[in-house]
Amino acid sequence: MRFFIFDKYTKMEFISSELSDYVDAHTSLETSVLKQLNRETNSTVLMPRMLSGNLQGQFLSMVSHMIQPMQILEIGTYTGYSAICLAAGLKPGGMLHTIDINDELEPMVKRYINTANLSDKIKTYSGDARSMIPSINETFDLVFIDADKINYSVYYDLVFDQVRPGGFILADNVLWSGKVLEKPSAMDADTKAIDTFNKKVHADERVQHVLLPVRDGLMLIRKI
């Protein structure tokens, strides 16, 4: 067993590097657009570990293809990698709405959306998701939460009534580099928020849920 020290933006390594390489070698490859986006994010953007990457990206794409959503909401765009992956499974005429508070990245996001020929399927919003979510008058088949951890529970409550019965919510970073195992007295604010969110979902009788140890943890939630 290997042990690691993690900072706020480091993803926990749950398996050995050899097994991780095996997983990568037996997972579908990135498209050329995603590979280019991955490379540019890692070379030019702060905190590139926030990028979904190929393993998680393929998972998001697979979920979207299985659900075949008409409307997707993404909270936390970053450089657009996950949006492109999720949009791949949209039904004809479907739309992905993605919100991010960092408007400095918007030109890069739109450039890659255009390169991926998804400008008619992805609509970007710049601003605080807490005020923008209620203004998007849609019923969502799928919601992906991957923004500031402090507000995870707020986002969950805001979107819940806009998710159709049988629809899904996905939340990223729910293991938070393993920090969720710390004693409550030792948790920082982000870790406490993630732990509170996980407990909130687990106690919610309106949903079925499973916490998946994919990268930094994904909570898959189905609205009953």
Q: What are 187-217's pLDDT values in tens digits?
A: 999 999 999 999 999 999 999 999 999 989 9
Question: pLDDT tens digit string along 20-51?
Answer: 899 999 999 999 999 999 999 999 998 888 89
| C-alpha–C-alpha distance, residues 167 and 8, integer Å | 31
pLDDT at 3 over 70: no
Helix (H, G, I), strand (E, B), or coil: what is residue 69?
A: coil
Q: Which residues contact 202 (CB under 8 A, 6 or more apart)?
A: 209
**What pLDDT is attached to residue 16?**
86
Q: Which of 161, 155, 167 is nearest to 200 (CA)?
A: 155
Amino acid at 22: Y
pLDDT at 10 over 60: no
Question: pLDDT tens digit string along 146-181?
Answer: 999 999 999 999 999 999 999 999 999 999 999 999
Contact 83, 170 (CB under 8 A): no
Give the mean pLDDT of 94-105.
97
pLDDT at 8 over 90: no
**What fold does the segment set 17-223 form as a domain?**
Rossmann fold (3.40.50)
Q: How far is CA 6 from CA 17, 176, 179, 186, in A?
A: 16, 10, 9, 14
**CA 115 to centroid of chain Cα atoms:** 21
Tokens standing for residue 99? 């919100």
Contact 86, 74 (CB under 8 A): yes
